[in-house]
Copies of this chain bind each other. A is one copy, B any other.
Amino acid sequence: MQLHKRDVVAAATSLLDDYGLADLSMRRLARELQVSPGALYWHFANKQQLLGAVADHVLAPVGRPSGDWPSRIGALCRQVRDALLSHTDGAELVSASFAAAESTVMADVVGQLTDAAAEAGVPATNAELTARTVVYYVLGFTVDEQSRRQWDAAGADLPDASLLTDDQDTRFDFGVRLLIDGILARREQRV
Interface residues of A (CB under 8 A from B): 92, 99, 126, 129-130, 132-133, 135-137, 139-141, 143-144, 147, 171, 174-175, 177-186
Contact = CB atoms under 8 A, between A and B. Distances in A.
Between A92, A135, A144, the greatest number of chain B beta carbons within 10 A of the residue's beta carbon is seen for: A144
B175 A181 contact: no
A64 B132 CA distance: 28
Q: Which secondary structure dominates where chain A touches chain B?
A: helix
A113 to B, nearest CB: 13
Contact of A174 (B99, B126, B175, B180): B126
B175 A133 contact: yes
B135 A140 contact: yes
A178 B171 contact: no
Given A136-B137, A139-B140, A129 B184 contact: no
Contact of A137 (B99, B126, B137): B137
A143 B181 CA distance: 25
Contact of A129 (B99, B175, B182): B175
A74 to B, nearest CB: 14
Contacts of A99: 92, 143-144, 147
Contact of A182 (B132, B139, B171, B179): B179
